[in-house]
Chain A
Amino acid sequence: AQTVTQSQPEMSVQEAETVTLSCTYDTSESDYYLFWYKQPPSRQMILVIRQEAYKQQNATENRFSVNFQKAAKSFSLKISDSQLGDAAMYFCAYRYVGSQGNLIFGKGTKLSVKP
């Protein structure tokens, strides 16, 4: 069975600094997608960034980038120039290409941003 592990329950970063959130996953499949979702307090979950496993190049979306290490089954999220609005729960998620599309989530990392 596929699993997603986020080993950091909470993280803190100073405004304008850089923070990295960790995620590891376990799967026997070779073709899959990985996602980072952001869930602000009492607000809906939104997609931050997506990575296709067959792509070697790490995905980047503005201040957000990932470090995808397929052999190590690691998928970390780097947030540069952190802003107060980045404070939220961050969930790493996995989806197998052959699935019906359901996501498998980690337990999340709560990110605090200090002014």
Chain B
Amino acid sequence: DTGVSQNPRHKITKRGQNVTFRCDPISEHNRLYWYRQTLGQGPEFLTYFQNEAQLEKSRLLSDRFSAERPKGSFSTLEIQRTEQGDSAMYLCASSDNRGLVSNQPQHFGDGTRLSIL
């Protein structure tokens, strides 16, 4: 169990640029979540995958955001035409595929901190 891995750890970009983050969940975890955490706030749910299927998306996930999990393993989160308000920590979490989805604890990665200049 190597834990949830996120890359890069920190991304600095100019407003208007596109950025992509990667998340590698714990192996054999088929459930994967993306959250956004702004300064002084708790994480807010963005989207959820079960295997390669994106089953839920928050209203926070505007049309500039897109997430994929093409083979049911790693996931990418892309933000197009970044804005100042996108500056945040983007957290990925994964959970076990046994039992009820709501019953399994989520294991978080270190996050990717996005800074928009």
**Residues of A participating in the B interface, judged by any CB pair closer than 8 Å:** 4, 32-33, 35, 37, 43-47, 50, 91, 93, 95-108
| Chain A hits for B87, CB < 8 A | none
Contact A100 B48 (CB under 8 A): yes
Give complex CA distance A100, B58 in Å: 12
For chain B, residues 57 to 104, give those with C-beta under 8 angstroms from any C-beta of chain A: 58, 91, 95, 100-104
The CA-CA distance from A81 to B44 in the complex, in Å, is 31
Instruction: Please indicate the chain B residues that have their CB under 8 angstroms from the CB of A93 in the complex.
Output: 42
Contact A44 B111 (CB under 8 A): yes
Question: Which B residues, 32 to 56, have Cβ-Cβ distances below 8 Å to chain A?
Answer: 33, 35, 40-45, 48, 50, 55-56
Bound CA–CA A95/B105 (angstroms): 10
**Chain B CB within 10 Å, residue with most, of A37, A45, A101:** A101
- In this complex, how many residues of chain B approach chain A with their Cβ under 8 Å: the count is 30
Kindly identify which residue among B33, B42, B58, B105 contacts A91, using a CB–CB cutoff of 8 Å: B42
- Alpha-carbon distance between A61 and B31 when the two chains are bound, in angstroms: 25
Q: How many A-B residue pairs have CB under 8 A?
A: 67
Which residue of A has the minimal Cβ distance to B101? Answer: A101
- With A50-B105, A96-B102, A101-B101 known as contacts, the answer to whether A45 contacts B56 (CB < 8 A) is no
CA distance A95 to B103 in the complex (A): 9
Partner-A contacts on B (CB < 8 A): 3-4, 31, 33, 35, 40-45, 48, 50, 55-56, 58, 91, 95, 100-111
Q: Are B101 and A100 in contact (CB under 8 A)?
A: yes
Q: Which residues of A contact B111 (CB under 8 A)?
A: 44
Pair A33/B110 contact, Cβ less than 8 Å: no
- Which residue from B43, B91, B106, B107 sits with its C-beta under 8 Å from A101? B106
Our pick among A47, A104, A107, A108 for the contact of B45 (Cβ within 8 Å) is A104
* Neighbouring A residues of B106 by C-beta, 8 Å: 47, 101, 103
